[in-house]
């Protein structure tokens, strides 16, 4: 096993006292290195910073990044070399010099070679591309490798799609041609974030992180705690399985916390990551095919969320895979085997029914004859509407696009279910026994929105379940509680469907309560407080 990937926290030196405290806090949280960005610092700033023995004891990367490569140092290269020399007295572990500067200005190499071997820092030759992935990506690596002094090849480029992160991973395979080199290959931005969170799996020399709530020096940087506590960066190994959440957006999801907590408790060799993927069916197909065929990734399974549940269904069908359970034209789970076609299934419906049973005490028999109103006609609604109709509920589906609701209702009727479709503005709730909100309306950050006009009325005792879990108590549930409804929060369905997915991905049952506790903690919910409210209005 290769050396563990280090966590480096970049700090742009400005306010010496505050930055000193930030560095000490980073190390206390688990950082291995501080990248001191000296772009705008002065020699007196540097002397003041390193006058503290505690700061001097922290291994660090020296970087003075010029404006022409995304930094803030505005003087000429001779002045930058002078600043580097001022900093060298404090014995950095690494020094980061841009490939272009190293190639264009011989005095950088001459100075580096003049440093005594015992105090010479490891040389990081870096190349940054802020307009996107360079076409000659592998040639850039070859150019860095051509300089024998380089110890670490660092290539960072702005990501446009998930393909860019996979291109960064491919560089680690190419790096094997240069056994003396370590690599740091980063697809910057949200869509390349897995190039940071999976850095340990690929044996990166280090990856960059922020303090919780701290400013980042590049887009997509996770926090120290996320890397250590959620993604288990230091435990990652090359053969670990990867699972992920595909959708747009996914930044608000707590699924990574849930699945990784269960994997950690079971000591399962795998990691679960968010995979942001905007776009249409074509974008989905291309991205998932690339994820599936990236052999070094070892993709085990994908959770699917908005807007790709129908795209996922079509992907599995087109790949010759099997869709388990009732065919509703949408799935939220794809499981991949080493050779077999992918398997699709939908854990939304059983997870939702589990939440409903817990919140009401109803059995499957009790649901027969209940009047259920579902808001929305997407993948979640399709699964729940079908399951409720199968159990004998009288189902009404309301959707902004009536044709979509009609198509779903016709499918349910074809299988003997009682279901009708109306425009969302025609929905009535006073006679409903159960209302299920299946749209993203009211989800963070648009928490003031609700799909039901406040003028609508409910009977006291009506059961209202929201499939949104962030925020915990949506505007819809607040409105329902004020009218005496029994409210079931989205976290209950989230945990139920997530536990079923975990079983499919890993072959193991998640430890009891682990995934729910992780979700509660991630959302900042009181752990002992139930998220099922049967008390009516306060």
> Could you tell me the CATH superfamily of domain 349-495+528-533?
NAD(P)-binding Rossmann-like Domain (3.40.50.720)
- Supply the pLDDT for residue 59: 98
Residue 327: band (very low, low, confident or very high) from pLDDT cuts 50, 70, 90: confident
Whether the CB-CB separation of 302 and 244 falls below 8 Å is answered with: yes
- Supply the pLDDT for residue 527: 43
Catalytic residue, chosen from 122, 201, 267, 309, is 309
Provide the H-helix boundaries in 239-392.
Answer: 255-266, 281-293, 309-318, 348-360, 364-367, 379-390
- pLDDT for 144 beyond 90: yes
- pLDDT for 1 beyond 60: no
Rounded CA gap, 201 and 164, in Å? 17
pLDDT in tens, 65-123: 999 999 999 999 999 999 999 999 999 999 999 999 999 999 999 999 999 999 999 99
At residue 151, the 3 state secondary structure works out as strand
- Report domain extents, the chain: 6-236, 349-495+528-533
Q: Which of 33-37, 82-86, 200-204, 336-340 has the lowest mean pLDDT?
A: 336-340
- Supply the pLDDT for residue 389: 97
pLDDT in tens, 181-238: 999 999 999 999 999 999 999 999 999 999 877 666 666 799 999 999 999 999 999 9
Burial class (CB in 10 A: 0-12, 13-18, 19+), 529: exposed
Mean pLDDT of the residues in the chain = 94
- Supply the pLDDT for residue 215: 64
Q: Which of 207-221, 413-427, 444-458 has the lowest mean pLDDT?
A: 207-221
- Supply the pLDDT for residue 537: 30
- Supply the pLDDT for residue 216: 61
Residue 534: band (very low, low, confident or very high) from pLDDT cuts 50, 70, 90: very low
% of the chain with per-residue pLDDT over 90: 88
Residue 472: band (very low, low, confident or very high) from pLDDT cuts 50, 70, 90: confident
- Supply the pLDDT for residue 252: 85
Tell me if domain 6-236 and domain 349-495+528-533 are identical in fold.
no
Nearest alpha-carbon partner for 108 in 150, 164, 51? 150
- Supply the pLDDT for residue 530: 39
- Supply the pLDDT for residue 529: 38
Q: Is 122 annotated in the active site? A: no
pLDDT in tens, 240-297: 999 999 999 998 899 999 999 999 999 999 999 999 999 899 999 999 999 999 989 9
Burial class (CB in 10 A: 0-12, 13-18, 19+), 18: exposed
- Supply the pLDDT for residue 219: 67
DSSP string, 221-279: PPBHHIIIIIS-GGG--TT-EEEEEEESS-TT--HHHHHHHHHHHHT-SEEEEEEE--S
- Supply the pLDDT for residue 94: 98
At residue 98, the 3 state secondary structure works out as strand
> For 422, which DSSP code?
E
pLDDT in tens, 485-506: 999 999 999 999 999 999 999 9
At residue 356, the 3 state secondary structure works out as helix
- Supply the pLDDT for residue 114: 96
| Architecture of the domain spanning 6-236 | Alpha-Beta Barrel (3.20)
């Amino acid at each position: 096993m290769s050396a563990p990937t280090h966590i480096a926290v970049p700090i742009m030196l400005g306010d010496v006292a505050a930055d000193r405290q930030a560095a000490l806090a980073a190390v206390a949280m688990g950082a291995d290195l501080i990248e001191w960005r000296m772009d705008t610092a002065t020699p007196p700033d540097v002397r003041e910073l390193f006058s503290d023995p505690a700061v001097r004891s922290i291994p660090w990367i020296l970087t003075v990044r010029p404006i022409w490569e995304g930094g803030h140092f505005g003087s000429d290269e001779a002045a930058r070399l002078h600043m580097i020399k001022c900093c060298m007295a404090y014995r950095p572990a690494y020094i980061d010099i841009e490939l272009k500067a190293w190639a264009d200005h011989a005095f950088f190499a001459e100075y580096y070679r003049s440093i005594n071997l015992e105090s010479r820092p490891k040389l990081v030759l870096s190349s940054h591309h802020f307009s996107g992935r360079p076409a000659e990506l592998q040639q850039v690596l070859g150019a860095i490798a051509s300089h024998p002094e380089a110890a670490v090849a660092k290539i960072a480029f702005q990501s446009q799609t998930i393909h860019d992160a996979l291109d960064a991973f491919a560089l680690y395979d190419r790096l094997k041609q240069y056994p003396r080199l370590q690599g740091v290959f980063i697809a910057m931005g949200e869509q390349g974030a897995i190039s940071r969170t999976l850095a340990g799996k690929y044996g990166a020399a280090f990856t960059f992180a922020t303090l919780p709530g701290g400013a980042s020096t590049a887009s997509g940087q996770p926090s120290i705690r996320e890397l250590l506590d959620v993604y288990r960066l230091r435990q990652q190994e090359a053969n670990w399985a990867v699972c992920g959440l595909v959708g747009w957006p996914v930044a608000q999801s707590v699924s990574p916390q849930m699945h990784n907590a269960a994997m950690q408790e079971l000591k399962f060799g795998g990691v679960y990551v968010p995979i942001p993927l905007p776009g249409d069916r074509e974008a989905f197909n291309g991205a998932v095919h690339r994820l599936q065929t990236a052999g070094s990734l070892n993709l085990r399974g994908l959770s699917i969320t908005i807007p790709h549940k129908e795209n996922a269904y079509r992907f599995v069908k087109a790949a010759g895979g099997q869709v388990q359970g009732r065919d509703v034209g949408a799935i939220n789970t794809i499981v991949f085997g080493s050779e077999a076609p992918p398997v699709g299934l939908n854990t939304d419906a059983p997870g939702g029914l589990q939440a409903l049973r817990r919140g009401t005490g109803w059995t499957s028999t009790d649901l027969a004859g209940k009047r259920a109103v579902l808001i929305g006609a997407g993948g979640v609604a399709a699964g729940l509407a079908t399951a409720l109709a199968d159990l004998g509920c009288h189902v009404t589906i309301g959707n902004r696009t009536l044709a979509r609701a009609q198509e779903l209702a016709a499918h349910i009727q074809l299988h003997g279910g009682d279901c009708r479709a109306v425009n969302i503005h025609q929905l009535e709730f006073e006679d409903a026994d159960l209302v299920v909100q299946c749209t993203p309306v009211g989800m963070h950050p648009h928490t003031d929105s609700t799909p039901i006009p406040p003028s609508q009325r409910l009977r006291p005792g009506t059961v209202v379940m929201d499939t949104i879990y962030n925020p915990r108590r949506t505007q819809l549930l607040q409105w329902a509680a004020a009218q005496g409804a029994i409210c079931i929060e989205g976290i209950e369905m989230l945990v139920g469907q997530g536990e079923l997915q975990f079983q499919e991905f890993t072959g193991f049952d998640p430890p009891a309560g682990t995934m729910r506790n992780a979700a509660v903690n991630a959302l900042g919910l009181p752990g002992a407080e139930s998220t099922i409210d049967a008390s009516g209005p306060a």
